[in-house]
Protein backbone atom coordinates (compact mmCIF):
# COMPACT_ATOMS: atom_id res chain seq x y z
CA UNK A 1 0.00 0.00 0.00
CA UNK A 2 1.45 3.34 -1.07
CA UNK A 3 1.42 6.14 1.47
CA UNK A 4 2.24 9.77 0.81
CA UNK A 5 2.63 12.16 3.73
CA UNK A 6 2.98 15.90 3.15
CA UNK A 7 4.51 18.36 5.59
CA UNK A 8 5.81 21.90 5.67
CA UNK A 9 2.62 23.88 5.23
CA UNK A 10 1.75 26.86 7.39
CA UNK A 11 0.99 30.56 7.54
CA UNK A 12 3.31 32.98 5.77
CA UNK A 13 3.17 36.60 4.70
CA UNK A 14 3.01 37.58 1.06
CA UNK A 15 6.47 37.53 -0.45
CA UNK A 16 7.64 34.82 1.90
CA UNK A 17 8.73 31.24 1.26
CA UNK A 18 7.77 27.75 2.30
CA UNK A 19 9.16 24.33 1.46
CA UNK A 20 6.75 21.44 1.28
CA UNK A 21 7.91 17.84 1.60
CA UNK A 22 6.18 14.62 0.71
CA UNK A 23 7.53 11.33 2.01
CA UNK A 24 6.47 8.20 0.16
CA UNK A 25 6.43 4.54 1.05
CA UNK A 26 5.01 1.34 -0.37
CA UNK A 27 6.52 0.96 -3.84
CA UNK A 28 9.79 1.73 -5.57
CA UNK A 29 9.82 5.51 -5.34
CA UNK A 30 12.37 6.13 -8.05
CA UNK A 31 10.29 4.46 -10.77
CA UNK A 32 7.40 6.93 -10.82
CA UNK A 33 6.60 10.50 -11.67
CA UNK A 34 5.29 12.74 -8.91
CA UNK A 35 3.18 15.85 -8.82
CA UNK A 36 1.92 18.64 -6.61
CA UNK A 37 -1.65 19.88 -6.86
CA UNK A 38 -3.61 22.39 -4.81
CA UNK A 39 -7.20 23.11 -3.95
CA UNK A 40 -8.52 26.42 -2.71
CA UNK A 41 -11.91 26.69 -0.95
CA UNK A 42 -14.75 26.45 -3.44
CA UNK A 43 -12.43 25.61 -6.32
CA UNK A 44 -11.40 22.48 -8.15
CA UNK A 45 -8.09 20.80 -7.49
CA UNK A 46 -5.50 22.16 -9.90
CA UNK A 47 -2.09 21.16 -11.16
CA UNK A 48 0.93 22.95 -9.72
CA UNK A 49 4.07 21.03 -10.73
CA UNK A 50 5.33 17.63 -11.77
CA UNK A 51 8.66 15.82 -11.96
CA UNK A 52 9.52 12.65 -13.83
CA UNK A 53 11.13 9.55 -12.35
CA UNK A 54 14.72 10.78 -12.62
CA UNK A 55 14.14 14.44 -11.87
CA UNK A 56 15.30 15.33 -15.35
CA UNK A 57 11.97 16.72 -16.49
CA UNK A 58 9.82 19.21 -14.64
CA UNK A 59 6.70 21.12 -15.63
CA UNK A 60 4.85 23.93 -13.90
CA UNK A 61 1.53 25.68 -14.02
CA UNK A 62 1.87 29.14 -15.52
CA UNK A 63 0.68 30.66 -12.26
CA UNK A 64 3.71 29.37 -10.33
CA UNK A 65 6.40 29.27 -13.00
CA UNK A 66 9.51 31.11 -11.87
CA UNK A 67 8.41 31.09 -8.21
CA UNK A 68 8.05 27.39 -7.35
CA UNK A 69 10.57 24.58 -7.80
CA UNK A 70 9.83 20.87 -7.62
CA UNK A 71 12.61 18.43 -6.83
CA UNK A 72 13.03 14.88 -5.60
CA UNK A 73 15.50 12.83 -3.63
CA UNK A 74 15.06 9.20 -4.63
CA UNK A 75 17.41 8.03 -1.90
CA UNK A 76 15.09 9.59 0.68
CA UNK A 77 11.83 8.71 -1.09
CA UNK A 78 10.85 12.36 -0.86
CA UNK A 79 9.59 15.02 -3.22
CA UNK A 80 9.79 18.72 -2.43
CA UNK A 81 8.08 21.91 -3.49
CA UNK A 82 10.05 25.07 -2.81
CA UNK A 83 7.66 28.02 -2.93
CA UNK A 84 9.08 31.54 -3.12
CA UNK A 85 7.47 34.95 -3.57
CA UNK A 86 4.22 33.60 -2.24
CA UNK A 87 1.00 35.43 -3.01
CA UNK A 88 -2.39 35.36 -1.24
CA UNK A 89 -3.80 33.53 -4.27
CA UNK A 90 -1.44 30.64 -3.50
CA UNK A 91 -3.52 29.90 -0.40
CA UNK A 92 -4.80 26.33 -0.69
CA UNK A 93 -4.44 22.79 0.53
CA UNK A 94 -1.46 21.30 -1.28
CA UNK A 95 -1.44 17.62 -2.22
CA UNK A 96 1.35 15.45 -3.51
CA UNK A 97 0.52 12.61 -5.84
CA UNK A 98 2.33 9.66 -7.35
CA UNK A 99 1.73 8.48 -10.88
CA UNK A 100 1.73 4.91 -12.13
CA UNK A 101 4.03 6.09 -14.94
CA UNK A 102 7.66 7.16 -14.97
CA UNK A 103 7.08 9.97 -17.46
CA UNK A 104 3.87 11.81 -18.11
CA UNK A 105 2.38 13.60 -21.07
CA UNK A 106 -0.93 14.70 -19.55
CA UNK A 107 0.81 15.58 -16.29
CA UNK A 108 -1.79 18.25 -15.47
CA UNK A 109 -4.60 15.68 -15.32
CA UNK A 110 -5.60 14.26 -11.94
CA UNK A 111 -6.32 10.83 -13.44
CA UNK A 112 -2.65 10.38 -14.31
CA UNK A 113 -1.92 9.96 -10.59
CA UNK A 114 -3.10 6.95 -8.64
CA UNK A 115 -2.00 7.77 -5.10
CA UNK A 116 -2.56 10.96 -3.14
CA UNK A 117 -1.47 12.38 0.18
CA UNK A 118 -3.80 13.87 2.76
CA UNK A 119 -2.78 17.44 1.99
CA UNK A 120 -1.11 20.28 3.88
CA UNK A 121 -2.58 23.76 4.33
CA UNK A 122 -0.70 26.77 2.97
CA UNK A 123 -2.05 30.18 3.92
CA UNK A 124 -0.53 33.38 2.56
CA UNK A 125 -1.58 36.60 4.25
CA UNK A 126 -1.54 39.96 2.48
Q: Cβ(79)–Cβ(22) under 8 Å?
A: yes
pLDDT digit string, tens, across residues 64-120: 999 999 999 999 999 999 999 999 999 999 999 999 999 988 999 999 999 999 999
Residue of 23, 45, 53, 126 lying closest to 92 (CA atoms): 45
**pLDDT tens digits, 23-37:** 999 888 889 999 999
User: For residue 105, what pLDDT is reported?
Assistant: 87
Amino acid sequence: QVQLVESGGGLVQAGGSLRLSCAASGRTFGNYALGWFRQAPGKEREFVATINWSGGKTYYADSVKGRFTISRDNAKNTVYLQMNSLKPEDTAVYYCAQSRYSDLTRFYELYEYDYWGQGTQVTVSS
